[in-house]
Every structure is written in structure tokens, then in C-alpha cells.
Amino acid sequence: MKSLVRLLLRLLFRFQPFNEEVLRTPGPVLLVPNHVSWIDWLFIGACLEEDWKFVVSNITAHTSWLHRKIMLSRRTFPIDPTSPYAMKRIAEHLQANGRLVLFAEGRISRTGCLMKLFDGTGFLLHRTEARVITAYLRGLHRLVTSPNPDRKQLFPRVEVHFSPVLTPPAGSDPSTAQARTRLTRWLRDRMMRQQFEVETAHGPSSLLEAVVESARRSPGHRVLEDIQQGLTYRRFLTGVDLLAGALEERLARGVERVGVLLPNVNATPVTLHALWSLGRVPAVLNFSSGPQVVSTCAGLAGLRQVVTSRAFLEKARLDVTGLAGAGIELLYLEDLRERIRPTDRLLTLARISLNPRSVVRLPQSGDRSAVILFTSGSEGVPKGVELTHANLLANIRQMLSVCDFSDQDRVFNALPLFHSFGLTVGTLLALVRGAYVFLYPSPLHYRVVPTVLYDRDCTVLLSTNTFLNGYARKANPYDFRSLRYLFAGAEKIQESTALTWMRRFGVRVLEGYGATEC
């Protein structure tokens, strides 16, 4: 029967278990998976030996005849969750060298991410000294029966990753309550770390491939928007491929680094991804730092060409004569756009619709450089910081393992993309996760930004202490009604700013200062 179930799961869900041999560990042992769907037990059970039992709620088991059929059997360990003796029964079974599967969240995740773990789990670890195996069910949150807001698939690809055997850390806790809290926190940290490590090991190794993976699931999802237009994944990748083709004819041979001098508009992430498609490394120049600093940074990075826009240079009144005087060629997007024929647009759109991965012209490994950013120069001459694909993806995956972002989240980003905070969290995170990002050209429009955020129903905002004070002076308290996350970086948050936002808007400011500057 077990072999038949595994065959069906493999045919329908391309199911694949990892590190399955760890399940032969003798008791007492507790297997703790994340809980994202109604049929998690089926995928876990297909890997277990006969003596493993699932801890189930006796109350839920009597909901219907189907619940009773599944939840009351020789493979389950029913308990009454309202009884103070429930944990004692589980502890006694473990102390008798039992092996149990416990969904420690106590309910199916409503976010698709790891929710809180009940302290009873920590009590079991303290009382029994049982060893622990954590399990990460990857991809199952997209099943149609999963009660989370992510976009669903009828038969998503599912993997289950089992951790090595873990021994709960010993401690000199003065009371059982403190030991229970400490061990529950330790277990949750281990589960989040496992998610990050699995995604790093088994997920895409480059940023463009990570975006393509999300685009393949939802090609018609509107993922990017600026003040002029919105782009679906399909149109975004089509633009990336067309621009990559136009750039390939103009870029100097043998030169890896290419400058980018553009504002917060759709063209900027399109340009970055087009350069990644060609295996080039964009050096994003800080246009607000002045002509002399821009020229210095371009020389520091050894740039010979810079992608920019005539319209942007005219509106921002930027002086780029220093770049031209240094022998740096300016590649204007307007000129590149004219080289693209209407037939090319249609053919590329059709190809991307059939095979989104065709946009990746030159696959990149994680240790390859992805982007060059420049420091503010507060300590003298600005320094160039070279970040790899693995660096940026690690930041994104760390945030996704800690914060409960979903496909329905909407990011508002007015911070410039020439800083790591605005680029990684403000733009790339949404593109990789499959969410939505709105790019606004300036964070200084204190009256306009709250109104646009309100109009777009954005749930995530990135800002700084200075800008938050400006928005607080001009905004209506209802403007930020949809916000779930407010991240602040670039400078330390003042206590008065945090209190103002909590009292007036009911929003907690999460400080990223320090971490984002590393």
C-alpha cells in the first residue's frame, strides 16, 4: 500500500523526499513538519515506517465520517487538546521509546509560512529529552486545498526535506515554564533555518532564474508598476529579452561591467535583468550624488559604457559631460528601443509565453557577481561593493523565512534602486516571491506618497526615519490602513517616530538600520 501511495504521489506531484534515511532513528523521537495543507499527513506518512504515529485532535476527528476514517486508526495518536493531561499522554508515549509526528503549529497555516509553535512542544522536549527531526514540506502550500492567499496549482511539485537528528540544547532554566519557552523558540528557529537552507540548496542560483520560476507559475500576474504603466510577468520578461537583444549588439566585447543610470521606473529592473541575461554585471550609479561623484564611481568600477535615458537626464537636469569626457559611451534606452522591430516584439512575446526560461541567455552560478553598488561616501571617496547572486538571494530568502509574505502582498518602493535596501527588499524580493511592487520616483513627495500608497492598497512600505516624519505630517490616518509591514533603514529610527506611527496610524516600524548597511 505504501509503495502504491508513493507511486501516485510521484506521478501526480513529482513527489521527492530528501534525507529519508533519518526516519529510521529509534525512539524516543519527535518529527515536527510545517503544516500547510489538508494532506500533509499523506506525504509525510508515505515516508514513515509502521510504528510512527500522528498526533491528532480527538475533537477534530469527530467532525465528520471522513475525519474519523482518516484520523482514528492504528497510525494515529488521538488526544483531547482541551485536556491538561494531553501533553502528559504524549510524553509517556515518547518516554516508552515511541516515535510521533506532531504538527506543532496546531493548525494549518493561513499564511503559507511557518506560524507560531505551541509551547506544549517545548514541554515535551524538556520532559522527555526526545530527539527531534524537523521536516520542510516544499511546494505544498500551493495546493488548491491549502487555506492561504497564495495562487494555487492543481498538482504542484512537492518535496519533503528531513533534517538530521537534532538534540534539544540543555539549559539551566529555573522553571519548567522557562524551559518550555526556550525549547519552543529553539525549535522554531531550527525550522526557519531549515527552510532557508533548503531554498538556498534547491532553489534557483541566480536572480533572473528565480524570477523566471515565479513567472512560469503566474505569467499573467501584474508584478511591476510605475507611475506610467504596469507589467505582467509575461510582458516584463518580454521586455527583458528584447532589451537584452538590443544591448548585445552594442555592448563592448570582453567587458563584464556595465553602468546603469536610471530612476525608479520599470525600465530599471528590466535593464538589470537584461544585463543578467547576457552575463553582465550592472554597476548602479547614484544619480543624486552629483556629476563628480558619478564620474568617480564610474572610473572606480572601470566602466566603459553606461545605460541611461535622455528623458531622465533632461527631467533630472543631470550633467553627464564628465562621463563623456572620460571616454564612457552612453547607451540611451530610446535609441535601443528604436532598434526593436514590431515583428520582434510579437515573436518574442510568443516565445516567452511558451518558454519563459528562454530569456536566460547565459546561465549564472550563485557565486558570480550580480551587481555593484556604491557607498554614500560619508568616509571620503565612495566605495564600490560587489554583490553576488547568492548574496542577494540569501537576503531575500532570509526575509521570506521570517516574514509571512504572500503572493497577495503589494510593495510600495520610493527608495532608490542604487542602494541595497531599495534594490533587494524594495524590488527584487517582490519579483522573486511573485508579489507586486510599485516603483515611485521620489520619496520626498510627502503629500503624494501616502495618497498613491492608499490608492494602490499596498501592504509593505520601505522608508527612512526622515521620510516617515515627512509622511506623518501630511498623511491622513486612513492612508496606511492596508499596511502590514513597515521597514525602515538607512538611518536609526527615533523613538518619537516609532511612537507617532504606532499611535496615529496603528503601524509598527520594523528597523532595518545596520543590517541593510552590511
Which residues form the catalytic set?
35
Tracing cell 552629483 back to the chain, one arrives at: 290
The three cell numbers locating residue 181? 519557552
The DSSP letter of residue 73 is S
The three cell numbers locating residue 487? 521597514
Please state the φ and ψ torsions of residue 265, each to the nearest 5 degrees.
-140, 170
Cα 116 from chain centroid (whole Å): 19
DSSP of 186-222: HHHHHHHHHHHHHHHHHS-SSHHHHHHHHHHH-TTSE
Q: How many angstroms separate the Cα of 477 from the Cα of each of 414, 440, 455, 469, 474?
A: 20, 21, 14, 13, 10
DSSP of 281-298: EEEE--GGG-HHHHHHHH
Q: Are 226 and 411 in contact (CB under 8 A)?
A: no
Q: Is 356 helix (H, G, I), strand (E, B) or coil?
A: helix
Q: How many angstroms separate the Cα of 111 from the Cα of each of 155, 210, 242?
A: 19, 21, 36
Q: How many CB atoms lie within 10 A of CB 337?
A: 14
Q: How far apart are CA 88 and CA 515, in angstroms?
A: 42
Q: Are 102 and 167 in contact (CB under 8 A)?
A: no
Q: Are 31 and 24 in contact (CB under 8 A)?
A: no
Q: Are 5 and 105 in contact (CB under 8 A)?
A: no
Compute the C-alpha angle 167/169/174, nearest 5°: 140
Q: Is 499 helix (H, G, I), strand (E, B) or coil?
A: helix
Q: How far apart are CA 51 and CA 55, in angstroms?
A: 13
Q: Is 491 helix (H, G, I), strand (E, B) or coil?
A: coil
The DSSP letter of residue 452 is H
Q: How far apart are CA 84 and CA 87, in angstroms?
A: 7
Characterize the bridge pairing of strands 29-33 and 99-101. parallel
Q: Among 301, 327, 305, which Cα is nearest to 261's?
A: 305
Q: How far apart are CA 502 and CA 471, in angstroms?
A: 14
DSSP of 400-444: HHHS---TT-EEEE-S-TTSHIIIIIIIIHHHHHT-EEEE-S-TT
